[in-house]
Amino acid sequence: MTESSASRKSGIAGETSSKQSEGIISAISVGFLFILFGSIYVLALPTSLFEKVVAFFTSLSSRQVPGTSIFLLAPTSPAAHSVFYTAVFQFCVGLAFLQLVVLILRLAWNSTTAKTAETLGSLVFWSGAALLSTTFLNAYTTVNTWFAFWAGILVMMGASLIARSIVLLLRK
């Protein structure tokens, strides 16, 4: 076997292994999402989570952001949706946990730098979203804390992008 044919075979094997790893990660992610949705629904019982989600979205109206002349969507009574907010928190925690597992798998399987950076950024975002949702979205939520939550989400988006950039810079 010549050197070039051997390197082609190892390259093909590396691609297959990489594709298999990504396939496994995708399967774990999709399976986990189904489990997460089902678990959140069951944890909300005996309250109908579906009814609470519908009630939340039907209560959205244009509200003035305090201290500005800007109007954005917010619930008419932000404090009335604590069951929905609990589900949001559980979803964020679940996705943060999933991203942690995926990050560990990516590091163990030597995934590409881009995929590892993306996963770390997602972990930062979902962890921050979980912290923000439990801090700002609860039975005491006001219009002020509603918009503070969304400002925090913007901060987490920025932190997520910075985390991705750091990984890309360090592995360059």
* pLDDT tens digits, one per residue of 66-120: 999 999 999 999 999 999 999 999 999 999 999 999 999 999 999 999 999 999 9
Q: What is the pLDDT of residues 108-161, one digit of tens each?
A: 999 999 999 999 999 999 999 999 999 999 999 999 999 999 999 999 999 999
Establish if 18 belongs to a structural domain: no
Predicted model pTM: 0.87
Per-residue pLDDT at 126:
98
d(CA 66, CA 8): 62
Establish if 14 belongs to a structural domain: no
Establish if 7 belongs to a structural domain: no
Range of the domain at 64: 29-170
Establish if 23 belongs to a structural domain: no
Q: What total of structural domains would you count in the chain? A: 1
Cα torsion 162, 66, 143, 93 to 10°: value is: 0
Establish if 137 belongs to a structural domain: yes
